[in-house]
A and B are shown apart, each in its own frame.
Chain A
């Protein structure tokens, strides 16, 4: 029996599976959205501001 060749269509479908990753990069390249920031508390000393997960210690009111 002849050795089987992989069809072009199958190769196309392999490319299809890569599209998911490319879409991710596309989002990245066009930067972040500017939704209104609303800090939300996360346990263990972190807060989320506009998606950024940041140490809460940087957002303590200034000591007097």
Chain B
């Protein structure tokens, strides 16, 4: 049953499991546990629809690269799935077999742990289970790039699609407008004994449960942990610890433009780096999207491009060619965009500022920063893709200067894929949660969602985070 905590203060005295956050991870976990007979409480800070008083609690100043932390998230039932684009691409075995080229380990679990939940995760986002991920174009010749394979969810809006289950599943209480404002840790028992919830009038009460799970997204999961004074006193969260660190995004870089040798094409193309490329260049993975401009109407453009190719191969002096190329100024046939892996980086992090929100919680700030290895990835992918264009006779690429010249600041945008702030590891020196997504040092606190990603690959995170959530549901069912 979905109840509004603003008007219905009807929390039970005790739950088996309390889940904080009703986005894709929280909703999936709650339903998986409730159908197995558990008494489950699912808390959502927002209401049924977008409202400014809820969304304003996501205000989040940032330093470093602009991450658009407020705009890219949605704080109401269904969470950020309410503006999800629906692109689904699974992780690959190499995401789990190979650690990142930085001083942090990769995933501590085997790829098979993800793979066995793929069919069910696909069904949750309205894909046909076991359907093949499809390419929209042929692969490129050479060993560096293959055609990217993905499927598109309708996209699934979780609150809408699962409204009936959220209302009717026995044992499940869903409360909207119910904000978690504190996690109360008991150092003697090593457990979260209670959490404190509040409505928008600051009415507060404690919730008791055997198990708690945070499922509020990568920024808020870290913020909840960092805001808990009892976790700090208990030594679970500390300044030198990993909570909030290794915030990762996928890099949306304008690599450049291109001209096609055989005139303007019509179809967009998507390519993906091969494991050979990643190994050879010690680079991250990346999707490269070749988008054609539907109408480029410039008088004499086609003749100018033809002239460019002719001048390139004709037998004039080198100096003349360089001068001609330098002065060439003509709209291209399209643009090259990316979704590139960012490696975990301790300096890229979520932390707290002294300012408090309307419910009295300290606000979070995000400092999004790339490392040298990320610039190398962008440069390698840009140059190698440009060479593939020329090698295969497809055309020629003009890269943005920031792609090949690392002294120029990189022009990039985020993809709204927040990952890594409570990363999974085998030990607290390297992460915040263990292989079962349980917070190190706390017996009964788990974390669901992409904040536990040890590395982010170059796959859209929603479907993989659901695979991990299904695995987490299995684990919690086994211990509670």
Contact = CB atoms under 8 A, between A and B. Distances in A.
B404 A49 contact: no
A32 B399 CA distance: 10
Contact of A14 (B83, B256, B330, B383): B83
Interface stretch (B21-29, B106-114, B312-320): B312-320
Contacts of B257: 27-28, 32
B390 A7 contact: no
B72 A49 contact: no
Interface string A1-24: 101111101100110110011011
A64 interface: no
Interface stretch (B157-165, B205-213, B240-248, B419-427): B157-165
Interface residues on B, range: 35 or more
A37 B319 CA distance: 11
A36 B337 contact: no
Contacts of A13: 71, 74, 83
A58 B321 contact: yes
Interface string B344-377: 0000000000000000000000000000000000
B413 interface: yes
B398 A10 contact: no
Given A28-B331, A28-B334, A31-B330, A53 B315 contact: no
Contacts of B85: 14, 17
Interface residues on A, range: 35 or more
B387 interface: yes
Nearest to B413: A20
B50 A7 contact: yes
Contacts, number: 134
Nearest to B254: A24
Contact of A27 (B50, B74, B252, B254): B254
B335 A31 contact: no
B20 interface: no
Interface string B177-194: 000000000000000000
B335 A10 contact: no
A17 to B, nearest CB: 6
B121 interface: no
Interface string A30-48: 0110111101101010101
B11 interface: no
A2 to B, nearest CB: 9
A41 to B, nearest CB: 11
Contacts of B328: 32, 50, 52
Contacts of B48: 4
Contacts of A42: 383, 387, 404
- The binding surface of chain A is classed by DSSP as mixed
A10 B50 contact: yes
A44 B390 CA distance: 12
Nearest to B385: A53
B103 interface: no
Which one of B72, B313, B315, B398 has the highest number of Cβ atoms from chain A below 10 Å of its Cβ?
Answer: B398
B312 A54 contact: yes
Contacts of B396: 52-54
B390 A46 contact: yes
B387 A46 contact: yes
A4 B312 contact: no
B82 A31 contact: no
A44 B74 CA distance: 47
A22 B147 CA distance: 24
Nearest to A32: B329
Given A5-B49, A51-B256, A52-B396, A25 B293 contact: yes
Q: Identify the 5 closest CB pairs spanning chains A and B, nearest first.
A: A53-B386, A37-B326, A7-B50, A9-B50, A14-B83
18 contacts: A1-B163, A1-B164, A4-B77, A5-B49, A6-B49, A7-B50, A9-B55, A27-B254, A28-B332, A32-B257, A34-B329, A37-B325, A44-B387, A48-B399, A52-B328, A53-B389, A54-B396, A55-B390
Interface of B: 2, 48-50, 55, 68, 71-72, 74, 77-78, 82-83, 85, 157, 159-160, 163-164, 167, 252, 254, 256-257, 291, 293, 296, 312-313, 315, 317-318, 321-323, 325-332, 334-335, 337, 383, 386-387, 389-390, 396-401, 404, 413, 416
Interface of A: 1, 3-7, 9-10, 13-14, 16-17, 20-21, 23-25, 27-29, 31-32, 34-37, 39-40, 42, 44, 46, 48-55, 58-62
Given A31-B331, A32-B330, A58-B313, 14 more contacts: A5-B49, A6-B82, A9-B50, A10-B50, A13-B74, A13-B83, A17-B83, A32-B398, A42-B387, A44-B387, A51-B401, A52-B399, A58-B312, A60-B318
